[in-house]
Structure 1
Amino acid sequence: MAACSFRRSIASQLSKILDLPPENLIKSISAVPVSKKRLIPADFQLSIDSITEDSSSDHSAQDLQLRAQMLAEKLKCDAVVTEISTGPGTVNFMINRELLAKTVLQQVLKDGSEYGIKSELFSTVPRQKTVIEFSSPNIAKKFHIGHLRSTIIGNFIANLKVALGHQVTRINYLGDWGMQFGLLGVGFQQFGNNEKLKSSPLQHLFEVYVQINKAAEDENTKKLAKDFFRKLEEHDEQTLSLWKQFRSFSIEEYIRIYKRLGVHFDEYSGESFYQEKSQEVLKMLEEKGLLQKTIFGLQLLQCFLSKCRKGTGIVDLSEKKDLSSFSTVMRSDGTSLYITRDLAAAIDRMNKHNCDTMMYVTDKSQSNHFQHLFQILKLMGYDWAERCQHVSFGLVQGMKTRRGEVIFLEDVLDEARSRMLQNMASAKTTKEIENPLETAEKIGLAALIIQDFQGLLSSDYQFSWDRALQSRGDTGVFLQYTHARLHSLEQMHGNEQLTDVNVACLQEPEAISVLQHLLRYDEVLYRSSQDMQPKHIVSYLLTLSHLAAVAHKTLLVKGSAPELAQVRHNVVMWLKSVWGTQGVLRYGSVRPALELLREYAPSG
């Protein structure tokens, strides 16, 4: 990794002065972000605060500045570092310009799709086995828009971990059990149609569910629903056969939608898998003295406040064992609840996969549920509960189609494609293409994902179609536009790469800015891998897009001297190589449109 070789060189000189091992200094030396307003007169900087032994205490800006100046005076320029300066609490290093260009470009050419991944920043990060549960819709219901964030965030985390060498198992934990299936079963018996179930399962089951809910006020209907679910739990052959159809057809429909999103799963699981094992969990809780029945006194009062019924099973989670905090794990009739099945699922997964980490990607409203889940696992004696993690996210607000409020994900995907088609048709630069629907689908998906990934995952955000689909500005459309422009230039001037170029031809400020930005990629990747936030990579790629746009206007290939044109063209190809294989284009399933997007790419 290009940045690594420069960090090592700087760390080597610093270690002699600071009497610290070079490896202890590597992560304290960071590439300087490229400013949009001006060029930063340095490529790397060392934060004085990060190497101060008493870094826990507060240091005045004046004190840090003085320390930076004292350290800078002891350092010397060499064949790698050509200039040393100080900033607010930092020592700054300028790299030899020709060496910078040569090292970065050679590294990009050598590493290709693994550029950034081989960085020594990851050398101390152990390769792990991770189980990630995400998406998890309820079967027999259309894919609700609320599951979109879980799907694309979980997919981002899985893709990123795989790229970094981790072993990942992707699990879709379906909501496929519970009293609602008693109601749906009765509804299908009254209003269902087998042909409609086969041709459009989720739509038809949704219609049936709406109809039966209207009839559910009738006591007889409620009784029939309870009887149906009781038969389901007793594994009545006819009842179970109908439920299996609901589940099978639903999964087929989900797989089709996941294909549109570029998402796949290694395992389809569900609550139904743990119906019997949840009873084993209740037995374990009872044997360990953790299961309490709400019968009298404070227990009954607490239970009343949480709308429990007499005889409900709970686990006391309070430190003082005064029931100030508890979790309900069993109904009064002895049947399990959602959290009981989650306990059974977690234990089963750990036994099956023996993973290092187990991640759950759901919205932040379920934070309390997962806090209770992990606490109960610890109380049961499972130390690995410490390695379980809830990746929470906020809600999307204001997402509407032209027909009104959006309910289903497929409506959103269709709307994005439709609006993008309209934008393409009205654009003056649009050319005729073989499959405009496919192009619009990919650009629309990129627009949705990038708008979602620009902020903190835990934050709610206001969705805007107009903002998401803009071809200029910080949008997914702009990212695809940039990739298309690079691809067009490559096609126009050929794709032969030189392994040895005259880097003296790459000393313009615009070229140096691109090279400086490429230096930061491993740091950005490392940061995203640590906090699981895609916004770092999105921000990096958007800045790269703007730098590429400036370079496109100033570093012309067409009309330049042959040697200069060839060098610049090689930069285009290497930049496209990084672009097409890294960042959100890789980790977020935003597939570069390549030849499908040439209609956006002007010549030049």
Structure 2
Amino acid sequence: MAACPFRRSIASQLSRVLNLPSENLINSISAVPVSKKRPVADFQLFVGSVIEDKSSDRSKPDLQLQTQRLAEKLKCDTVVSEISTGPGTVNFTINRELLAKTVLQQVFKDGSEYGIKSELFSTLPRRKIIIEFSSPNIAKKFHVGHLRSTIIGNFVANLKEALGHQVTRINYLGDWGMQFGLLGAGFQQFGNEEELQSNPLQHLFERLGVHFDEYSGESFYQEKSQEVLKMLDAKGLLQKTIKGTRVVDLSEKRDLSLSSTVMRSDGTSLYITRDLAAAIDRMQKYNCDTMIYVTDKSQHTHFEQLFQILKLMGYQWAERCQHVSFGLVQGMKTRKGEVVFLEDVLNEARSRMLQNMASAKTSKELENPLETAEKIGLAALIIQDFKGLLSSDYQFSWDRVLQSRGDTGVFLQYTHARLHSLEQMYRNGQSTDINTACLQDPQAISVLQHLLRYDEVLYKSSEDLQPKHIVSYLLMLSHLAAVAHKTLPVKGSAPELAQARLRLFQAARSVLANGMKLLGIMPVTQM
């Protein structure tokens, strides 16, 4: 089911002119990013992506000329009110009242699935996906280094689930050499709550709003790793070095110039051997289509070798294994000094946020200020983490992270709370039947145009698993909503105008909340 009929309607007209199936054109039609400086069209077609040029270079018509010729063959109709050209693009402006009516209807009809029900995802096959993330050492406190793995893995799982995939979240606990088998591999089976309570992990995941479907540990694969070694040996892949270790040759010339050690000289397994056993076991158990590992980029070579060995063993599904890597966070300190443990970071975020809330003039009396401060603090940490490429290292700064203005998680939470309180103020007089002619101001159009782009942003993130696309979209939505809130008042406006504006702000808050939840942020309703 399409999220909006606009893209499909444009594709249908282009199909007739270009003599191409409309399905082939859908992905070449994109929503135009909103400009703060000038009005823009709603959709554009990149002509170079759909016109196949069979002529020789000498007689090749100029791309702009082709663009002009195509635009002249197209006509305005009940959906498209204006057609124009840009550098290599044909631009389409949608009938303004139809734009407002359709976008608002779709946002409320689809709810949490808005954007996901788009035609962009209509051919997406539903997959079984395993995601391994977090993976702390359970004999120690939850180290801050695992924060990125936990929140990134949670985002990838949230996004895949939202798109209709069957996701299994696995926490592969570092319990090697420790007597934590019960917690690691058997907690779900035996359910020893006391063991969990006394463990240093405690309920950090519940603080973080993260859940797992399966806990397993390295020790669980000790015996199975011996079976892997026997399989490698049987396939002639195991070679003995002078030092007595066993390796798998990964070099092209088979001269051991590149190899991976899989067994120590005393016969014990290594981290990679246990990972091989875990991968084979999971594939047998879940028969999944994709296996994703979320760890820092220092483990890039480890996973390259892991997937390569699996291929040499004859497991073709190794090609469907993926390593999502991330960079390091530098300069993360609390008032006490260098940060080591995650609970210190969360406590620091909460206490600093409480202090900021207490000193802010706009803060309201809250029922549970501690919980609110925790949610805002966590939002601040997540947005800071997700703003850039995941593989990038970044310098951490509490002052920057917790700013209430600018591109921060605090600003997102503030915008959501502000729009929510506006809804609450007028909840008794709300109407779903509005006059869309009241939403023709440039600020209202900008919000509507931006809501149009949400499906493309989700599509982009689903392609490269980078949350930065969603983050920049939500920040822009918050800025546009803030401008509209200031220039399009609900209070004191004529009832018909107030109703239409209220509906627009409601739609913006709904999409803002959807996006925040995908990122692993729980929106607050007061602050």
Q: Please give the range of the TM-score, normalised by the shorter of the 2 chains.
A: over 0.9
Structure 1 letter corresponding to 2:265: S
- The 2-side partners of 1:106 and 1:343 are apart by 50
Residue type matched to 2:169 in 1? R
Could you tell me how far apart the structure 1 residues matched to 2:350 and 2:57 are?
53
Superposition CA RMSD, Å: 2.3
Contact residue 170 and residue 266 of structure 1 kept, 8 A = yes
Q: 1:496 to 1:114 in 2, by over 3 A?
A: farther
Q: What corresponds to 1:92 in structure 2?
A: 91
Q: Amino acid of the residue matched to residue 275 of structure 1?
A: Q
**2:205, 2:211 within 8 Å by CA — same for their partners in 1?**
yes
Mapped pair 1:398 → 2:331: yes
Counterparts of residues 56-455 of structure 1 (less than 5 Å): 63-178=62-177, 181=178, 248-249=195-196, 252-295=199-242, 310-455=243-388
Is 1:561 paired with 2:494?
A: yes
Alpha-carbon shift at residue 251 of structure 1 (Å): 8.2
1:496 Cα offset (Å)? 5.5
For residues 90-117 of structure 1, what are the alpha-carbon distances to aligned partners after superposition, in whole Å with 9 as ceiling and x for unaligned?
1100000011011111111211111111
Structure 1 stretch 72-81 or stretch 475-484: which is displaced more? 72-81
Partner of 2:188: none
Shift of residue 2, structure 1, vs aligned partner:
7.0
User: Are the aligned partners of 1:2 and 1:107 in contact in 2 as well (CA < 8 Å)?
Assistant: no
The alpha carbon displacement at 1:254 in A equals 2.3
How many angstroms does 1:574 deviate by? Answer: 2.6
Structure 2 distance, partners of 1:441, 1:363, is: 26
Q: Give the whole-Å Cα distance in 1 for the aligned partners of 2:240 and 2:440.
A: 76
2 CA distance for matches of 1:567 and 1:58?
54
Q: Confirm or deny: 8 A CA contact 1:145 1:408 kept in the other structure.
A: yes
Q: Structure 1 residues 513 and 3, CA, compared in 2 at 3 Å: closer, same or farther? A: farther
1:576 is displaced (CA, Å) by: 2.1
Looking at structure 2, the residues matched to 128 and 103 of structure 1 have their Cα atoms a distance apart, in angstroms, of 31
Q: 1:522 to 1:170 in 2, by over 3 A?
A: same
Per the normalisation by structure 2, the TM-score is: 0.94
Q: Aligned letter for 2:203?
A: R
> Is 1:592–2:491 an aligned residue pair?
no
1:460 to 393, 406, 409: 393
Question: How many equivalent residue pairs?
Answer: 516
SS of the residue 2:141 aligns to: coil
CA distance in 1, matches of 2:173, 2:417: 38
Amino acid at match of 1:590: I
- SS of 2:93's equivalent? strand
Counterpart position of 1:24: 24
Deviations 1:298-342 (A, max 9, x none): xxxxxxxxxxxx110000001110111100000001110000000
Instruction: Give the distance between the partners of 1:245 and 1:17, measured in 2 at CA.
Output: 67
Q: Counterpart amino acid of 1:153?
A: I
1:110-134 Cα shifts (integer Å, max 9, x gaps):
1111111111111111010000000
Where structure 1 has 5 or more consecutive residues not aligned to the other structure, the ranges are 185-200, 202-243, 296-309, 600-604
Unaligned runs of 5+ in 2: 184-190
1:14 alignment partner in structure 2? 14
The question of whether the paired residues in 1 share the 8 Å contact of 2:3 and 2:106 is answered with: no
Structure 2 vs 1, CA of residues 37 and 152 (structure 1 numbering), >3 Å: closer, same or farther? same
CA distance in 1, matches of 2:166, 2:2: 27
Task: Please say if residues 3 and 114 of structure 2, whose CA atoms lie closer than 8 Å, have aligned partners that are also in contact.
Answer: no
For the pair 1:480 / 2:413, whether they are aligned, the reply is: yes
**Equivalent residue, structure 2, for 1:528:** 461
What residue in structure 1 maps to residue 34 of structure 2? 34
How far apart, CA to CA, are the structure 1 residues paired with 2:197 and 2:389?
A: 32
Which letter maps to 2:26? I
Query: 1:481, 1:92 → 2: CA distance?
Result: 35
CA contact (8 A) 1:495 1:573 kept: no
For the 8 Å contact 2:2–2:119, the answer to whether it is kept is no
SS in 2 for 1:25: helix
1:577 shift after superposition: 2.3
Assess, with a 3 A threshold, how the Cα gap between structure 1 residues 271 and 32 changes in structure 2: closer, same or farther: same
Deviations 1:243-302 (A, max 9, x none): x9999448854250011100010000010110000000000000000000003xxxxxxx
1 CA distance for matches of 2:309 and 2:316?
11
Residue pair 1:139, 1:247 contacting (<8 A) in 2 also: no
Deviations 1:51-76 (A, max 9, x none): 13359x999x9932222111111111
User: Match of 1:48, as an amino acid?
Assistant: V
Letter in 2 for 1:260: R
Amino acid at match of 1:540: Y
Q: Distance in 2 between matches of 1:485 and 1:287?
A: 65
- CA distance 1:104–1:282, change in 2 (3 Å): same
Deviations 1:205-237 (A, max 9, x none): xxxxxxxxxxxxxxxxxxxxxxxxxxxxxxxxx
Change (3 A) 1:250 1:132: farther
Distance in 2 between residues matched to 1:174 and 1:364, nearest whole Å: 19
Residues 116 and 522 in structure 1, CA contact (< 8 A), matched pair in contact too? yes
Identity rate, percent: 79
> Is residue 401–residue 409 contact of structure 2 (8 Å, CA) maintained in 1?
yes
Q: Distance in 1 between matches of 2:248 and 2:383?
A: 42
Moved beyond 6 Å, runs of 4+:
244-247
Alpha-carbon shift at residue 434 of structure 1 (Å): 2.4
- Provide Cα deviations, 1:160-208, integer angstroms capped at 9, x if missing partner: 1111111000000011114xx49x9xxxxxxxxxxxxxxxx9xxxxxxx
Distance 1:323 1:142 in 2: 39
Change (3 A) 1:496 1:591: farther
2: distance between equivalents of 1:532 and 1:84? 34
Distance in structure 2 (CA, Å) of the matches to 1:160 and 1:534 = 9
Aligned to 2:38, the other structure's residue is in SS state coil
* Superposed displacement of residue 431, structure 1: 2.5
**Bigger fraction of residues in helix:** 1
AA aligned to 1:16 is: R
Counterpart residue type for residue 472 of structure 1: R
Is 2:437 the counterpart of 1:504? yes
Secondary structure, aligned partner of 2:201: helix
Mapping of 1:543-554 within 5 angstroms?
A: 543-554=476-487
CA contact 2:3–2:119 (8 Å) conserved in 1: no
43-52 or 277-286: bigger deviation: 43-52
Give the equivalent residue in structure 2 for 1:52: 51
In 1, Cα distance between the equivalents of 2:425 and 2:196? 47
Instruction: Tell whether the 8 Å contact from 2:140 to 2:200 is kept in structure 1 after alignment.
Output: no
